Structure 1
């Protein structure tokens, strides 16, 4: 008899964790497992790419991306509906009182964590009992699986530097104690999490994101990629427009490069709430022709293939899928020296780790532009990256029989 497994994720648009989940779902043996997917917010365009064997259990679903204007409006309406649902209750008041001030002191202002608690408590309930329930992301999906799913075993994933992302022990402790196992996407993510929850060490292990090499290589030759006639050095960054991704610092770095006379153009693939703010910063720095926000694209891989240098200067990471995709396609990589990036980029071997500052990023880019042999070395080393698909799936599904 097939085992039943439920996966829960916050939204299902083109973020790193969402793409990682999609790849995982594609690689599970559907002859052995019945797989259900529940999207907490009931929204995201990746649902159209699900294998036919996966059952989406949401009663209502919106296929718009949460990164588009239309999708943001739909998301806001959903949040407002949940807030009104709780208007006569005070269940969340203790969390807000005990965590509000602590959260306000953090630079990456995470009111969203309280919102995720509200979303999980307001989401529809599932009647089915599962052999295994998997919360594939911290925050809302973890709260939902911990508190509202009926399953023999429960596991969750941590994809970010837990401390830098603004989560608090006071808010999450009771949640994580309900899980049989916690998967971390990198060793450094694990260590950062265990600094907060040292007594949960025996329940944690590493689960590297699953990446389909052959699919990436194939898609890289399917579309055109860059359509402008620019003949200087093309820099590329892929990721949502979010504080975490450090685009404000990248724009300052590009300003330094321009003042130095370096011929380069920086392209960004991705969308998000900071678009207008970043566009204004670009205008003020007179970089309209030098730092290009291209928005989200359906196939980013030709852009990786055609760029000269991939730059990933983020404030914090879990284990970046974008960096790994760039490496698969042979991109020389420059990344900020932070948790997650250090585990992917071996400084001086397959890429460069730089300081997260305008000067540090600009220096690393200029040095690599000037050294063609070094770019070739990093390209060759990067393209040797390998995945561990079968082993990771085994580690997850063995939880059913553990």
Structure 2
């Protein structure tokens, strides 16, 4: 029986975390002894981890990392970890060097800088594994590389590598030592290989796994919109972060209301920008029109009940929210950026728009006035997601010494 370790930064209610839960379900307890380590020991999805997975964390907080209270607790954990095992002092030269580079680029990525410190302050693992998998960039990747004993090591990329603020100096070239690198989309793969061309022969696309039947089942459960509004409804699902560009969506909503379009925009998600976004909403007189609903344990009835799903973001790896919208047959509008353009065929199963308030509002207005086009988008979107995802399970099979031939053709034995 193979011993497997998964490491992830947090286990909050975001796309990568949900995809990990689906992947863990593929690891049969009859074949694998599976351990999970959550680097920052926090996140509400911990209760959804399969019961046969051994959670290594001893001091875990089962609270969102995105709510105001949850963020406070997470920040306290991070502060304590700065001084655990001398992690901060050990990394002072590394921090100075990379801060200097970021200052020259006029953009400081504080979270990226701290991942190395968080990795070095993680728990000590004496166990040796057959396979160790870092499921996110940054901390979990550094931890598996530096602090885990394993015969084979693999890592996942869920975002456009360079756009998200990573670099080889931040990584200390650690990706060169992984046996496999899995990216969630072709564009993420392309972006990564521009920075690490040496890894091209061991980098593969592995799409996020979703449970189509479970999503459809949950969409039929009670829930969804509770107001008595009888106009058109727009839905967006995602964390309230800079990446998601909600300030542009709010401006687009303002343009729609000024044009007299009978529509409301609802957002499911939590994040550090919640108060800032609410202030902008209120200042533009959109309090009852652009509504931040917070996180929902079962968001799927909302998808089913909305007239249009909009995902206008700055960049993506591969959005779980868009996949879920496709499963439930939503008419979809996404911004033309990495990740999004790979998920939606413009004019076939959705529309692409520029990330500007003017173009977003124009496309929304056109779609809401064209029932025939929206109906066609819904039909084509629901056909796009397949039940059979076994061909994605190209994992954990070939050793470092077996990278030629079959592996390069991705003809790999399933786990």
- TM interval, short-chain normalised: over 0.9
Deviation sequence 1:48-107 (CA, Å, 0-9, x none): 111111110112211111122332121111111012336696322222222214435668
1:390 aligns with 2:390: yes
Moved more, 165-174 or 138-147: 165-174
1:172-187 mapped onto 2 (5 Å cutoff): 172-187=171-186
Quote the Cα distance in structure 1 between the aligned partners of 2:375 and 2:79. 51
Alpha-carbon distance, 1:137 to partner: 0.3
Residue 106 and residue 300 in structure 1: after superposition, are their counterparts in 2 closer, same or farther (change >3 A)? farther
Residue 376 and residue 35 in structure 1: after superposition, are their counterparts in 2 closer, same or farther (change >3 A)? same
Alpha-carbon distance, 1:399 to partner: 4.2
Deviation sequence 1:157-193 (CA, Å, 0-9, x none): 0000111111122111422122111000000000011
1:128-167 mapped onto 2 (5 Å cutoff): 128-167=127-166
Alpha-carbon distance, 1:391 to partner: 2.1
> What SS does the aligned partner of 1:383 have?
helix
Quote the Cα distance in structure 2 between the aligned partners of 1:27 and 1:400. 21
Deviation sequence 1:319-346 (CA, Å, 0-9, x none): 1010010010010000000111111100
> What SS does the aligned partner of 2:395 have?
helix
Residue 230 and residue 368 in structure 1: after superposition, are their counterparts in 2 closer, same or farther (change >3 A)? same
Quote the Cα distance in structure 2 between the aligned partners of 1:185 and 1:93. 33
Quote the Cα distance in structure 2 between the aligned partners of 1:349 and 1:99. 44
Does the CA contact (< 8 Å) of 1:106 and 1:166 recur in 2?
A: no
Quote the Cα distance in structure 1 between the aligned partners of 2:107 and 2:16. 19
Quote the Cα distance in structure 2 between the aligned partners of 1:122 and 1:336. 38
> What SS does the aligned partner of 1:14 have?
coil
1:357 aligns with 2:366: no
Quote the Cα distance in structure 1 between the aligned partners of 2:206 and 2:187. 12
Quote the Cα distance in structure 1 between the aligned partners of 2:86 and 2:127. 29
Quote the Cα distance in structure 1 between the aligned partners of 2:95 and 2:397. 37
Structure 1 runs (4+) greater than 4 angstroms displaced: 86-89, 104-109, 399-402
1:145-294 mapped onto 2 (5 Å cutoff): 145-294=144-293
Residue 101 and residue 255 in structure 1: after superposition, are their counterparts in 2 closer, same or farther (change >3 A)? farther
Alpha-carbon distance, 1:297 to partner: 0.7
Residue 16 and residue 255 in structure 1: after superposition, are their counterparts in 2 closer, same or farther (change >3 A)? same
2:23 matched to which residue of 1?
A: 24
Does the CA contact (< 8 Å) of 1:119 and 1:140 recur in 2?
A: yes
1:372 matched to which residue of 2?
A: 371
Quote the Cα distance in structure 2 between the aligned partners of 1:229 and 1:109. 45
Deviation sequence 1:4-31 (CA, Å, 0-9, x none): 1100000001010000000111122221
1:304 matched to which residue of 2?
A: 303
2:71 matched to which residue of 1?
A: 72
Alignment gaps of 5+ in structure 2: 403-415
When the two structures are superposed, what TM-score results if normalisation uses the length of structure 1? 0.96
Quote the Cα distance in structure 1 between the aligned partners of 2:360 and 2:303. 19
1:44 matched to which residue of 2?
A: 43
Does the CA contact (< 8 Å) of 2:326 and 2:385 recur in 1?
A: no
Residue 397 and residue 89 in structure 1: after superposition, are their counterparts in 2 closer, same or farther (change >3 A)? closer
Deviation sequence 1:267-300 (CA, Å, 0-9, x none): 0000010001101111111110110000011000
Quote the Cα distance in structure 2 between the aligned partners of 1:107 and 1:332. 39
When the two structures are superposed, what TM-score results if normalisation uses the length of structure 2? 0.93
1:103 matched to which residue of 2?
A: 102
2:318 matched to which residue of 1?
A: 319
Residue 161 and residue 41 in structure 1: after superposition, are their counterparts in 2 closer, same or farther (change >3 A)? same
Does the CA contact (< 8 Å) of 1:330 and 1:379 recur in 2?
A: yes
1:321-336 mapped onto 2 (5 Å cutoff): 321-336=320-335
